[in-house]
Amino acid sequence: MKVIDDEYYMALALDMAERALGQTGTNPVVGAVVVKDGALVGLGTHLQRGTPHAEVHALNMAGSRAEGSTVYVTLEPCSHHGLTPPCAERLIHEKVQRVVVACEDPNPLVAGRGIEMLRAAGVEVKVGVLHERALKLNRRFIKFITTGMPYVTIKSASTLDGKLASRTGDSKWISNEKAREIVHTMRHRHQAIMVGVSTIVADDPQLSTRMTVPGLSPVRVVADSTLRIPETAQILRDGTAPTWIVTTEQADPEKAKRLMGLGAEVLRCGSGPQVDLREALVQLGQRGISSVLVEGGGRLNGSLLERQLVDEIVLFFAPKLVGGKESPENFRFTGYDRMQDAVTLRDMEVEQIGDNVCIRGVPVWAQAEVKEGDH
C-alpha cells in the first residue's frame, strides 16, 4: 500500500501529464491535482497548446473548495501572459494555501518567477517533489525551450547481429507485433518522424501512426540531398500528415517545384552536396518541431550520431542472426580508432517485450572531434 503524502499526489499529477505526451506541441505536458481536507477535489492536465493549463482545469473542477487547498503541479506555474493568462495569478486569486511543484520551468519567461510570485503573495511553496521524474517527462520540451533545437530520438529494430534487413533487403518483420505497437506509440508522442530517402525508395512507407485507437501522425521528414524521392511515394499522396523534404541548395529546382505541387515542403539545408543535418534540425525547430523520431537506415543514424545530434537511442533486438556482409546495419559511420572514444549510453533501461529486448539510453560522447559534412 502506498503512503499518502506529497509524493503520492505528485505521482498522480505526473501520471496524468504523461497521458498527454505528443499532443501539446512545443508546450510541456503538465498535470495538476487539488487536495482539500484530505480529499481530491480537482484534477487537470494541459491538453493542447493555446488551451487552458493543467492548473486551470484542476481549479475549475475544485470550484470554491480551491480556497485553502494544496495544489500539486508537475511544472512551475507560469507567471507571464502568453496564449493563456498566468497560472500563478489564478492560484493566488483562488486563495490556495500551498503549492507543491515538481520542478522549475526552464522557459526564460518563467524560470522561477512563478514560484516567486506565489511566495510574495503568501502562498507556501515546496519545490522538488519527484523532481527527476518530472524532468525526464518533459525532456523534449526542456531541450527545445533552452536551445531552439528539437529533441532527437533514434529508434531502430534489428537482429542480434545489428542488421536492419537481410542481404536482399528483406526486413518484414524483424521485431514482434508488440514491439511494433510500441513504435507506433512513440510516433504518436513525437512531432516529426525522420527517414532517409533510401527508406522511401526501398519500402515506400506511410510513416503514419497506426494503433488500436486513433493516434496522432507526426510530420514526415525525408533527408534527400538530390531529391531522389519518387513522385509516386505514398507520403506525397495519402494526405495523412504533412511531408517535408530536407535537401541542399544544389538540388534540382524543377523537381523541387513538382514536389511542392504535390503538397510537400522543400527545405534547403546547406550548400554542399549533402544535407547539413544540424541546419535541418535548426529549421525544424524554427517551424515549431520540438521532437523528432528518427527511423532511418544506418547511414542517417550514423550521420546523426557522428555529429552528436542525438538525445536518446531506443534499440529493439529480435532473437535472430541474419549475417551478410552487405546486410544493412544499425549505424554506419566512419567509427573510432579507440574503444575509449566509442559512444556510450547512460540512464539505461532494458525491457523484455515477448521474445524481443528493448534498450533505451542517452548517448554520451568522449572528447572526439565532431565530424563535418552530412547526409
Tell me the one-letter amino acid at 123: V
Task: Report d(CA 197, CA 189) in Å as an integer.
Answer: 23
Cα 375 to its chain centre, rounded Å, is 21
Catalytic-role residue among 55, 94, 295, 329: 55
Task: Report d(CA 1, CA 10) in Å as an integer.
Answer: 16
Task: Report d(CA 304, CA 333) in Å as an integer.
Answer: 9
Our CA dihedral for 94, 95, 101, 103, rounded to 10 degrees, sits at 70
Q: Which residues face 243 on adjacent strands?
A: 220
| Residue 267: all three cell numbers together | 527545405
- Clarify whether 116 is annotated catalytic: no
Return the closest-CA partner of residue 145 out of 46, 285, 23. 285
Q: Which residues face 126 on adjacent strands?
A: 100
337: Cα within 13 Å, side-chain hemisphere? 3
Cα first-last separation, the chain: 52
- Which residues are known catalytic residues? 55
